């Protein structure tokens, strides 16, 4: 980047137009105008007095080539999601700040998932920022967070955005921002839970042995999808009937229960599946585990085939495991240990979805005799 050639308030802004084209906003600098005019299919919108280029992959790649030395801002997050190549047009200052964020998270020992999520929030924030990063003020952060609410993002998503920006601005860049102390109230949503009959239907609908075994392990042990795909043969202890979860969420090890039925499935599966490292290898080879997205797609097909209309995901199997244990009388403290929850408050959510005690309550309607005849 040759950011030092231009003043700090001079840059090109790219925005999506309603018709799918890309609007190119810029100050009158002849060099920049010539660069945009070189893009095939570009046009001058007389009514709006602005340059527009086709919103196609080829046009965007060409634009990236001609603007490689010019400071660029993305006017909306949609552009960056549609054309990741545009992220290469970040200013030198932004690239350095993002690199410091990466390094800060690595030094803190954040998981790969958290690092990816935080980087995504930081990059989206930069794309929406109307000024250079060093000139960003409290109002800009506030506007960004308010925009997330207007997009109807969940409270957990907004909270994660706050955590990401707070870590970046305050911990890494050494700034102070009171807006990052305000968090939206968490939505109190109860998890979706499948009945034992529904779980059985799902497992029976999966014919592929590897996929059925994997889903059975997730339900029978209550493990997360990311923990399941990374299981190795050494993690299974048939003598103690346990599964060793290594470096789960929060970087914690734990043990959970190994179901006899699930272990029988696993044994039959391993008779025909060579195991080098991971129990469930993926398409990239025996030394790579199956991807989480592949498992999600397997589950999506399974619930459709089983005729289940609940908005269930692979994680629903974990919720169902905990709820069924609770309904069968398992102490909440043991369930907390099996799930790897740091706080008992997290596990207590299952007391609200358990129907063990609800089923004992008789509805007043059922006490009415012959109410239909009175009509």
Residue numbers annotated as active site: 224, 249, 315, 318, 341, 350
CA–CA gap between residue 88 and residue 71 (Å, rounded): 11
By C-alpha distance, which of 3, 39, 33 is closest to 21?
39
CA angle at 145 for the pair 139 and 146, rounded to the nearest 5°: 85
What tokens does 253 get? 């090890």
What tokens does 210 get? 């590897």
The pairing of strands 285-289 and 281-282 is antiparallel
């Amino acid at each position: 980047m040759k950011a030092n050639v231009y003043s700090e308030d001079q840059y090109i802004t790219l925005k999506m137009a309603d018709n799918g084209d890309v609007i190119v906003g810029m100050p009158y600098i002849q060099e920049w105008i010539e660069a945009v005019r070189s893009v095939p299919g570009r046009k001058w919108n007389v009514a709006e007095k602005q340059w527009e280029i086709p919103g196609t992959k080829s046009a965007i790649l060409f634009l990236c080539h001609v603007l490689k030395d010019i400071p660029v801002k993305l006017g909306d997050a949609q552009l960056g999601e549609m054309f990741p190549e545009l992220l290469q047009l970040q200013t030198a200052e932004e690239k350095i700040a993002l690199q410091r964020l990466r390094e800060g998270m690595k030094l803190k020992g954040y998981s790969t998932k958290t690092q990816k999520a935080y980087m995504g929030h930081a990059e989206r924030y930069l794309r929406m920022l109307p000024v250079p990063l060093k000139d960003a003020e409290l109002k800009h952060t506030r506007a960004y967070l308010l925009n997330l609410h207007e997009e109807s993002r969940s409270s957990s998503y907004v909270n994660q955005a706050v955590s990401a920006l707070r870590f970046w601005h305050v911990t890494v860049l050494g700034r102070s921002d009171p807006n990052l102390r305000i968090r939206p109230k968490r939505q109190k949503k109860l998890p979706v839970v499948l009945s034992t009959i529904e779980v059985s239907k799902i497992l029976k609908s999966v014919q592929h042995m590897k996929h059925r075994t994997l889903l059975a392990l997730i339900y029978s042990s209550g493990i997360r999808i990311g923990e399941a795909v990374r299981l190795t043969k050494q993690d299974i202890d048939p003598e103690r009937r346990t599964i060793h979860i290594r470096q789960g969420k929060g970087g914690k090890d734990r043990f959970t229960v190994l179901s006899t039925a699930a272990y029988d499935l696993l044994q039959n599966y391993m008779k025909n599946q060579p195991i080098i490292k991971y129990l469930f290898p993926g398409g990239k080879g025996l030394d790579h585990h199956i991807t989480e997205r592949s498992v999600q797609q397997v589950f999506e097909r399974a619930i459709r085939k089983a005729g289940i209309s609940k908005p269930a995901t692979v994680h629903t199997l974990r919720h169902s495991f905990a709820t069924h244990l609770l309904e069968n009388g398992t102490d909440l403290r043991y369930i907390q240990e099996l799930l790897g929850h740091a706080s008992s408050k997290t596990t207590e959510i299952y007391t609200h979805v358990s129907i063990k005690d609800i089923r004992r309550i008789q509805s007043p309607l059922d006490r009415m005799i012959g109410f239909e005849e009175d009509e």
